[in-house]
A and B are shown apart, each in its own frame.
Chain A
Amino acid sequence: MAAIEVHELERTYRSRKGVIRRRRTEVRALQGITFEVAAGELFGLLGPNGAGKTTTIKILTTLLLPSGGSARVLGYDPARQPGEIRRRVGHVFGGDRGLYDRLSALDNLRYFADLYRVPVREKRARIASLLELVGLTGRERERVETYSRGMRQRLHIARGLLHDPEILFLDEPTIGLDPVGAREVRETVASLRAQGKTILLTTHYMYEADELCQRIAVIAGGRFVAAGTPRELKARVLDRTVIELETFGVAEPTLERLRSVAGVASIASETREQAEVLVVQSRIGAEIVPALLLELTGTSVGKVITREPTLEDAYVELVGSA
């Protein structure tokens, strides 16, 4: 039996606007996504903002009811058997909220241990071992309001693990962290994977998914796009060459002309520090560069780099074509 089964899951948010003329609006956050996560697997759920990642996690952690389709977590239905699921899963989300700032880390963990029914005899030892796991031993008596973002995030993970859940849901756990903090969180997640914990991770960062996840599902606009191992997803664009052109102020008509150059599979524009970088996926290798430069005549062009495709390129291609 899979630890998590999601079949044709749907979720629609309905709201009303206006005082006199009430208008109903509907947002279809999930439009029938399907995937499975095996026990002991670290599974990544990737997608752009608004893709439906958090909505999926909220349904699986019993915080939201689905509008259609079905889901099973450890064999239980999140809509009808929330109690069975709540004592077996942990939920950690990114950002620096979700903790009592005026209390110490120890008080936070003690409180959540009581809420999550950690046996009294095990509570002290469990908290000590989790503080050790997330590297907060020695700082546990300090108020959370004095913690850095990275420390808060690690405390979140400790909180999510208090009741030794069979499944851990990590919703963008490294969002907003500096590189060192993010690396520490990734190391913690990797050690949990090594312990055999089932983990469902959502993230925006491709290198993070590439480094940690055994399998990945990509969703966009509430729809399933693709699933597979990072290698399988990368293989979808392995026949391509990626060309990065550092430019400044490329207008949309120029982008359209670039897209029509023979051999161009896709173009994405990214902002990196001071520069705009055009990431071009080519089907015919680097020989496309002169044609691209020709279309960019009159635009200042900096460095031009040719490289192998990464998981991020596969993701951009998948999401772009969805």
Chain B
Amino acid sequence: MIRAFASGMWIHVVQFSRNPFDLTGVVIWPIVYASIAYYLLDSKDNPRLLLAASLGASVMLMWSLVVIGSSNALENQRWLGTLELLVAAPVPFAAVIAPITVASGVVGGYALVATLAWGTLLFDVPLVIVHPLAFALAVPCCVLAIGMLGLVMASTFVLYRAAFSLGIALQYPVWIATGLLVPLSVLPTFVGRIGWFLGPYWGYRAIREAALGPSPWPAIGMCLVVSATYLVVGTACLRAFVHVARSRGTLKLT
């Protein structure tokens, strides 16, 4: 199963990376947001704030890619004609779909690199990472936490082809609830509480705290906890929804 997961992730990262248009968008998009943040926050004298904004823009894109990737994942497989082959594989369906959603998050890693490079080269953002080792761990943990939330979302898309539009609609609420778009301190308290249940919240905190301090370890731990929870929920949902799709005969529909 681990082999199927690793192989699937590699295949889908390669499949995505070979489309220059998709790749260009991934690199440019967070740079635009980070640049807006730079001018909006007038943070020339506060490089820490600028680094936080750059990291936030990268995590925003990571989430967007996973939302779009997971809602697109099944639709793309339908379009490619591979969905039935994947369902008919002897490994659990979650081990087939999770790599696709996590691969979307991995592609978001390109954005992280591009945004940090952009900030350093153009805006003189000092690339000083407080906990380099933790940062190296926080990035994959963030990808995992976001990708696994994508797995839960993807399970519903087995049944509903129109779920793509619902997935797109979920981009902004999650950005807001995780403090990526607006600081949580300016929002009602309950909004931040919602963020506790979301992978992007803990993923962003882990990366930000690894880069800027204080200790990132509690957030990294929470990334793993929410990832494991999403995996259990996503696996159960996929199993149930695939059964319903077999009953209704909706796997092949395009």
Interface residues of A (CB under 8 A from B): 11, 13-14, 58, 61-65, 83, 86-87, 91, 93, 95, 97-103, 107, 110-112, 114-117, 120, 159, 163
Contact = CB atoms under 8 A, between A and B. Distances in A.
Given A98-B80, A101-B80, A115-B4, A86 B15 contact: no
B246 interface: yes
14 contacts: A14-B248, A62-B88, A63-B84, A64-B246, A65-B243, A83-B90, A87-B90, A95-B81, A98-B81, A103-B15, A114-B4, A115-B8, A115-B86, A116-B89
Interface of B: 3-4, 6-8, 11, 14-15, 18-19, 80-82, 84-91, 96, 243, 246-249, 251-252
B7 A114 contact: yes
A87 B96 CA distance: 15
A214 to B, nearest CB: 26
A159 B19 CA distance: 24
B3 A114 contact: yes
Given A64-B249, A87-B90, A117-B91, 16 more contacts: A62-B88, A63-B84, A63-B88, A97-B81, A97-B82, A98-B82, A99-B82, A103-B14, A103-B18, A112-B85, A112-B89, A115-B7, A115-B86, A115-B90, A117-B4, A159-B85
A255 B130 CA distance: 87
A107 B80 contact: no
Contact of B11 (A14, A58, A93, A107): A107
Nearest to A83: B90
Main secondary structure of the interface of B (DSSP, over half): helix
Nearest to A63: B84
Contacts of B89: 86, 112, 115-116
A86 B7 CA distance: 19
Contact of A103 (B11, B84, B247): B11
A98 B252 CA distance: 11
Which 6 A-B residue pairs are closest in the complex by CB-CB distance?
Answer: A97-B81, A114-B7, A87-B90, A98-B81, A115-B89, A86-B90
A130 B168 CA distance: 42
Nearest to B14: A103
Nearest to B82: A98
A204 B226 CA distance: 52
Nearest to A89: B88
A100 B85 CA distance: 12
A58 B11 CA distance: 26
B18 A102 contact: yes
Contacts of B81: 93, 95, 97-99
A63 B85 CA distance: 9
B18 A117 contact: no
Given A62-B88, A63-B88, A102-B19, A111 B80 contact: no
B249 A100 contact: no
Contacts of A97: 80-82
Nearest to B92: A83
Nearest to B87: A63
Given A86-B88, A103-B15, A117-B90, A63 B246 contact: yes
A60 to B, nearest CB: 11
Contacts of B11: 100, 103, 107, 111
A98 B249 CA distance: 18
B39 to A, nearest CB: 38
A83 B87 CA distance: 11
A104 to B, nearest CB: 10
B17 to A, nearest CB: 9
A58 B87 CA distance: 11
Contacts of A63: 84, 87-88, 246, 251-252
Nearest to B7: A114
A62 B246 contact: yes
A99 B252 CA distance: 15
A116 B96 CA distance: 11
B102 to A, nearest CB: 15
Contacts of A110: 7
Contact of B85 (A64, A91, A107, A117): A91
B13 to A, nearest CB: 11
A297 B118 CA distance: 83
A159 B6 CA distance: 19
B79 to A, nearest CB: 8
